[in-house]
Amino acid sequence: MQLIKAKGLCKSFGDFIAVDNVDLEVSRGEVIGFLGPNGAGKSTTMKILTGFLEPDSGDILINNIDLKSDPLKAKEFIGYLPEGAPSYSDMNVLEFLTFVGKMRGLKSNLLRTRLGEMANQISLKEVWNKPIETLSKGFKRRVGIAQALIHDPDILILDEPTDGLDPNQKHEMRNLIKTISKNKAIVISTHILEEVEAVCSRAMIIANGKLLANETPANLEKQFANKDIITIKVFNKINDVLAKNLKSSLNYSNIKIEKLDKDTNRILVSDAKKAPDLNAVLKQVNKFKLNIIEAGFVKSSLEEIFRKITTTNASS
């Protein structure tokens, strides 16, 4: 079931178009990774989805409730971590989370349970009674996450949830997102691409306010595979003679054989002039009766894909 359905979102600030006709659908169980260069419009889109900003045009259904016509009802389903994780610095963690919980309509029993769960799940126990202004950046961010989660919402919108966390905390945060994602629809924005690979079921790449890609990380990798280099992994020992024969039988200028471990090798085929033909190469390699484990084009890393997508768009 789709918990977020947004169509044709546009938002300008003066002459500047920050969000340009963005569509977005998120189902229960999905984690969407929102990627894009600085100023791409990620935060602005998130502000629109949470009802903080009204879009110039476009419609948003939150759990099938129209955000524009019934904002109070729609907002109940959303937990939101704004960019920079703002909070009331003069309150302590308990006071702040209690305030948000009450505003979210949690009655005292449930509120107490949820506070306990937050303290454990997000490891806030040690700062529970400290004023938020005295907390480190990482703890402030975690308080922000707890605030977004306190009413156990169906929809979570987290603007850079792991920004400012140390590697351990980043890891914990990703695990947390993964565990809670089963029965929620989650949108996170991030600049860390490995995070998308680690937790997201879909990556949405946005630049200059436009949605440029909306794919699973695996599909993106396939789509942006590097068609110039073929890689073939074989479960065989390859001695010098075999290597020489392989090289002469393959009609390409650049053939490398890498030893991966005792019994497996990788053959990399590329050519300075033309893109190699995967079928032809496989046919040749098969003649040597090798055990092929894996064959295909070399994948680009998500980072390369990101750079490719966002820079080609910027120049066009």
Partner 1 sequence: MKIYLEKTYIIFDRELRGYFRTPLASIFLLVFLALSSGMTFFLGRFFERDQADLTAFFAWHPWLFLILMPAIGMRLWAEERRSGTIELLITLPVTNMQLVVGKFLASWIFTLIALILTMPIWVTVNYLGDPDNNVILISYIGSWLMAGAFLALTSCLSALTKNQVIAFIISSISGFVLIMAGFNLVLSSVRSWTPTWVTETIGSMSFLSHFSRIQMGVFDLRTLVFFVSMIILCIWINVQLVQIKKAD
Ligand X SMILES: Nc1ncnc2c1ncn2[C@@H]1O[C@H](COP(=O)(O)OP(=O)(O)OP(=O)(O)O)[C@@H](O)[C@H]1O
Q: Which is nearer to Mg ion, 42 or 184 (CB)?
A: 42
Residue placing its CB nearer to ligand X in the complex, 156 or 204? 204
Q: Which residues make up the interface to ligand X (CB under 6 A)?
A: 13, 16, 18, 36, 38-44, 83
- Round to whole Å and give the CA distance between 244 and 105: 74
What does the per-residue mask of binding to partner 1 show for 87-106, with x meaning CB under 8 A?
A: xxxxx-------xx-xxxx-
- Least gap, CB of 10 to partner 1 (angstroms): 15
CB 31 within 8 A of CB 200: yes
Tokens found for residue 140: 């402030």
Distance separating alpha carbons of residues 82 and 289, to the nearest angstrom: 58
Q: Name the helix (H) or strand (E) containing 219.
A: helix 217-223
CB atoms within 10 A of CB 58: 19
- Residue list 242-301, contact with partner 1 (CB under 8 A): none
Q: Strands, E, within the chain: which ranges?
A: 2-13, 16-27, 31-35, 57-62, 65-66, 78-81, 155-159, 185-189, 202-207, 210-215, 226-234, 254-259, 265-270, 292-298
* Alpha-carbon dihedral angle through residues 226, 228, 233, 234, given to the nearest 10 degrees: 160
Give how far the C-alpha of residue 12 lies from the chain's centroid of Cα atoms, to the nearest Å: 25
The number of residues making up the chain comes to 316
- Residue 308, number of CB atoms within 10 A of its CB: 13
Number of shown-chain residues binding partner 1 (CB under 8 A): 27
Strand pairing partners for 249? none
DSSP states of 283-313: HHHHHTT--EEEEEEEPPPHHHHHHHHHHHH
Q: Does 39 bind partner 1 (CB under 8 A)?
A: no
Q: Does residue number 110 form part of the binding site for partner 1 (CB under 8 A)? A: no
The pattern of x and - marking residues 111 through 150 that bind partner 1 according to CB under 8 A reads ------------------------------------x---
Q: Which of residues 150-209 bind partner 1 (CB under 8 A)?
A: none
Among ligand X, partner 1, Mg ion, none, partner that 40 touches (CB below 5 to 8 angstroms by kind): ligand X
- In the complex, the smallest distance separating the C-beta of residue 109 from Mg ion, rounded to whole angstroms, is 37
What does 41 interact with, of Mg ion, partner 1, ligand X, none (CB < 5 to 8 A by kind)?
ligand X
- CB of 90 vs partner 1, minimal distance in Å: 5
**235 binds partner 1, rule: CB under 8 A:** no
Q: Counting beta carbons within 10 angstroms of the beta carbon of residue 314, is it exposed (0 to 12), middle (13 to 18) or buried (19 or more)?
A: exposed
- C-beta of 86 vs 116, nearer to partner 1: 86
Q: How far is the CB of 116 from Mg ion (least distance, A)?
A: 32
Q: Which does 18 bind (CB under 5 to 8 A by kind): partner 1, Mg ion, ligand X, none?
A: ligand X
Binding-site partner at residue 38 among partner 1, ligand X, Mg ion, none, CB < 5 to 8 Å by type: ligand X
Sequential DSSP letters for 168-209 = HHHHHHHHHHHHHGGGSEEEEE-S-HHHHHHH-SEEEEEETT
> Of 210 and 233, which CB lies nearer to ligand X in the complex structure?
210
Residue 8 binds partner 1 (CB under 8 A): no
Task: Work out how close the CB of 37 gets to ligand X at its nearest, in angstroms, rounded to a whole number.
Answer: 7
Minimum gap (Å) between residue 140 Cβ and Mg ion: 17
The type of residue at 56 is D
Least distance in angstroms from the C-beta of 110 to Mg ion: 32
Interface with partner 1 (CB under 8 A) = 47, 50-53, 72-73, 75-76, 78, 80, 82-84, 86-91, 99-100, 102-105, 147
